[in-house]
Structure 1
């Protein structure tokens, strides 16, 4: 049975945040979304070890700490490195793709232009992680 996910969405674009919330609502999913507008905010959220997310959806192009820098910090933290982190970005740069996977990203998804394509991608990703047996400690 699919579980309710605790999702940490790290995204600085308000329209993208609204689009994610709209998609979750449209798909009638019971997942909770916590937002961070940059990596610094996300690291503060992750300080509370009693309420860690099940997955992180991470944009690459952000102020303060880039997505790649955030992923590096996350993977170097013994307590946080196991959290599945899916890159959700507009960057189709092969260098970014390879670097994210080298750093341990759990997925790399290009944000499509058409909303229905976006909905389909998010539906698939969240369906997979809601049945995955990885347990956050």
Structure 2
């Protein structure tokens, strides 16, 4: 499967917090199909992700958060990230199988920038990730991110 090139000169750092190792692997494989230089760091829960954000060497270009994880779920992690002004410019994409418009609207109000629904199709995931990253690259280059739902 060949995909279009996402125009960015620099390598993007992507953080993914998801407790399901199979979902982490599928996400990584899908990213590999996209013609964009990326580095993926995975975390099994929100606590580990927050620890890395607070003590790590640099910020990611984007964070993907699963909603349902042990120790700290995605919505609690989102709230904690958005309370720290150091992370104001880091886009957060909620990544979940849940598709409840009211819940998604609430997550946007808490500071999510995008919502990406987990799909059962690998090709659909590749396409959705590519559209999401394209949108983030465009918005990073031309102004504030827009809220959208990718399904």
- TM-score with structure 2 setting the length: 0.82
The CA deviation at 1:30 is 1.7
Query: Which of the numbers 10, 22, 27 marks the counterpart of 2:29?
Result: 22
Q: What per-residue deviation string (whole Å, max 9, x for no partner) do you get for residues 16-46 of structure 1?
A: 1101111121224320011111000001110
> Contact 1:58/1:86 (CA < 8 Å) preserved in 2?
yes
Q: Unpaired segments of 5 or more residues in structure 2? A: 1-6, 144-151
Query: Which of the numbers 74, 79, 84 marks the counterpart of 1:72?
Result: 79
Q: Unpaired segments of 5 or more residues in structure 1? A: none
Distance (whole Å) between structure 2 residues aligned to residue 104 and residue 47 of structure 1: 18
Aligned length: 135
What's the counterpart of residue 119 of structure 1?
126
1:35 aligns with 2:42: yes
Q: What are the residue-to-residue correspondences of 1:100-115 with 2, within 5 Å?
A: 100-115=107-122
> Contact 1:4/1:130 (CA < 8 Å) preserved in 2?
no
- TM-score with structure 1 setting the length: 0.89
1:54 aligns with 2:61: yes
> CA RMSD of the aligned region, Å?
1.8
Q: What per-residue deviation string (whole Å, max 9, x for no partner) do you get for residues 33-78 of structure 1?
A: 1111100000111013641101101110111111110111111112
